Amino acid sequence: MAQAATFSRSLRLFVDRNLSPDALRAEMARRAIAARDELIARGEAPPSWRRYVDGKADAPETSVRLDGAILYRFNLTGEAAEAALALCRSTSPVRSGRFRDAWVLICDDKPWKQPLKDLPADRTILIVNPLPYARKIETGALEPRIRRNQIERVRQTLMRRFPTLTFGKTFVRVGSGIAPSAPYILRGASGERRTRAGTVMTYPALQITLRS
């Protein structure tokens, strides 16, 4: 699939001005729809999108002004989430493979069980590893030989690949509905001055949102 920057494109169409205004709008709408469907058919855009006509969300194509624009904002959230999960797994330290395979995607505070292509564009997506030592791996406190800042490195890669989305690094609490081992209660000195025994651990997470 093409680079994400190509997916939000304004379809400014110029047609025969001898047509009536209604006929002009109908022709502009027809061409916009055809161009959109062609992108999807070629695999250059996902089948999920939202339409903006003269800046108004969900307005019909035929309502376009004669000097206006029809824009389709394609939903790249699913593709970005798939890429993020793949990067998190491929950059994970591997011993038993347990940490690599534990990454989970959360939408609306629940693990997402449906196809990634169906992820809604207007929700906040979190990708987190719920194992108790996830934070130590991210901060470099587990073993010196394990490279730290895994999520930040994944975030930087995704920012370049999907410029229409926003990627952030955050720390979240994870409940038992996400993983049996969660939430993890710190039992002793963690090596981080801001944490202490008895504290509910927060887990490093990658956050994906639509750029406003």
Give residue-wise pLDDT tens across range 163-190: 889 999 999 988 767 766 666 666 655 4
Q: Are residues 204 and 166 in the same domain?
A: yes
pLDDT in tens, 31-75: 999 999 998 899 888 888 889 999 999 999 999 998 899 999 888
pLDDT in tens, 107-141: 988 999 999 988 988 899 999 999 888 888 888 77
Q: Which of 46, 74, 102 is the last residue of a domain?
A: 74
Q: Which of 57, 74, 91 is the last residue of a domain?
A: 74
β 125-128/203-210 pair status: antiparallel
Question: What's the structural domain count of the chain?
Answer: 2
Q: For residue 51, give the amino acid letter.
A: R
Q: Are residues 26 and 128 in the same domain?
A: no
Enumerate the β-bridge partners of residue 128: 104, 205
Measured between alpha carbons, how far is 41 from 44 in angstroms, rounded to an integer?
8
Residue indicated by tokens 């062609």: 38
Enumerate the β-bridge partners of residue 171: 204
Q: Tell me how crowded residue 160 is: count the other CB atoms within 10 A of its CB.
A: 10
Q: For residue 182, give the amino acid letter.
A: A
Average pLDDT over residues 207-212: 88
Q: Which of 45, 74, 103 is the last residue of a domain?
A: 74
Q: Are residues 47 and 147 in the same domain?
A: no
Quote the tokens at residue 5: 């920057």
pLDDT value at residue 171 = 93
Residues spanned by the domain of 40? 4-74
Measured between alpha carbons, how far is 209 from 45 in angstroms, rounded to an integer?
18
pLDDT value at residue 193 = 47
Q: Are residues 92 and 156 in the same domain?
A: yes
Q: Are residues 99 and 203 in the same domain?
A: yes
pLDDT in tens, 27-40: 889 999 999 999 88
